[in-house]
Amino acid sequence: MANSFGHLFRITTWGESHGGGVGVVVDGCPPRIALTEADIQPDLDRRRPGQSRIVTPRKESDTVQILSGTFEGRTLGTPISMWVKNEDQRSEAYSEMATKFRPSHADYTYQEKFGIRAWPGGGRTSARETIGRVAAGAIARKILREHWGVEILAGVQQVQCITISIDPETVRAADIEANIVRCPDAAAAERMITLIDEMRSAGDSVGGVVFGIARGVPVGWGEPVFDRLEADLARAMLSLPASKGFDVGSGFAGIQLTGRQHNDAFRNIDGRVRTMTNRSGGIQGGISNGETIHFRVAFKPVATVMHEQETVDIHHDNTTLKGRGRHDPCVLPRAVPMVEAMTALVLIDHALRHRAQCEWGDI
């Protein structure tokens, strides 16, 4: 299904930006996992609009409610349904979009594909859809942390031309969350915030890069050929709104090295096979090698800008569209929990698949 993701740990998101609410159904979650709304709400708070001056001013509490799949604070092994009510729609601000396509949005392609679209707020194409992903990702993240010791974090590495270096082994969540742009370098964060403020004042937007890290992933997660771990991570990240690029490990920079320079040499250290470098990004042959997984996701400047733009209407006649509506001048700060959630969803699915295929004799 086009609205579902995963194999054994499978999620289906639902809802539109200006409908009654949005949510997710999680199928395949193991039973007897301690779970309440308090395990999920913190990640939704990091994703929600209106949390700082550099994100969209839409005011939503994004309070999650678990509707099914738990009993007395533990998972049942049955489908977990969660929803968040939409509280601040203001659909009248989008009335012009009923007949005109916003440049670089999905308005035109949705209309051509389905012959109908929910034009207020972008409907299903809105980043509001990611509430379900983040809620489901919080469950996956909890299981990964408590049962395998996996730590997942993401942060902003680059806003337009302002960029920092990241050490995947030492970067800390506390440093990422220490500022509103979620960049672990305090000095660079201030410059990034200033730039985003300038874009907001100018009615424009700016893009950049979010890094993702998973520490403590055991050896063996992932599949050969089509379901390689990095391929599923790429699919997950490129399904996020405004994402435009993905690379893992050395990524595109690796082409500047020779094979001898790029190879990660193996050594036995204290009885464990380790690599002396990690240009593979923790994945080799599509399978985790026990080193830290690290990657980057590029996000475009948000398509909504506060300026008149050329476009066409639903009759394909040339026209113009006024700049209006609430938007993020930079999607990156709110994309951080989205990247973490999708990482967790990929990893939990492969963890369960690995256990089913390769550890069944130990059960």
Are the CB atoms for 59 and 87 separated by under 8 Å? Answer: yes
The total of structural domains in the chain comes to 1
pLDDT at 49: 80
Q: How far apart are CA 142 and CA 334, in angstroms?
A: 20
Q: How far apart are CA 16 and CA 113, in angstroms?
A: 17
pLDDT at 325: 63
Give the count of beta carbons closer than 10 Å to the beta carbon of residue 40: 23
Query: Residue 317 is part of which domain span?
Result: 4-362
pLDDT at 59: 76
CA nearest neighbour of 346 among 235, 243, 256: 235
Are the CB atoms for 221 and 323 separated by under 8 Å? Answer: no
Give the residue carrying structure tokens 């590495």: 157
pLDDT at 363: 47
* CATH code of the domain containing 275: 3.60.150.10
Q: Could you please report the per-residue DSSP string of 267-318?
A: EEETTEEEESS-TTTTEETTEE-SSPEEEEEEEPPPS--SS-EEEEBTT--E
Give the count of beta carbons closer than 10 Å to the beta carbon of residue 106: 18
pLDDT at 82: 98
* 339 CB-near residues (< 8 Å, 6+ apart): 154, 210, 212, 237, 240, 297
Count Cα neighbours of 62 within 13 Å in the Cβ-side half-sphere: 24
CA nearest neighbour of 48 among 64, 37, 57, 60: 60
Are the CB atoms for 288 and 249 separated by under 8 Å? Answer: no
Beta strands in the chain (DSSP E): 4-5, 10-15, 21-27, 64-68, 70-71, 74-75, 80-85, 151-159, 162-163, 208-215, 243-248, 266-269, 272-275, 283-284, 287-288, 293-299, 309-312, 318-321
DSSP symbol at 29: P
Q: What is the pLDDT along the chain (363 residues), one digit of tens a residue?
A: 589 999 999 999 999 988 889 999 999 999 999 999 999 999 999 998 878 888 887 778 889 999 999 999 999 999 999 999 988 666 666 788 899 999 999 999 999 999 999 888 788 888 899 999 999 999 999 999 999 999 999 999 999 999 999 999 999 999 999 999 999 999 999 999 999 999 999 999 999 999 999 999 999 999 999 999 999 999 999 999 999 999 999 999 999 999 999 999 999 999 999 999 999 999 999 999 999 999 999 999 998 898 999 999 999 999 999 876 667 899 999 999 999 999 999 999 999 999 999 876 554
Q: How far apart are CA 185 and CA 188, in angstroms?
A: 5
Distances (CA, A) of 347 to 36, 106, 210, 298: 21, 29, 18, 20
3-state secondary structure at position 95: helix
Overall pTM > 0.85: yes
162: which strand partners?
A: 159
pLDDT at 1: 59
Q: How far apart are CA 250 and CA 347, in angstroms?
A: 20
pLDDT at 326: 65
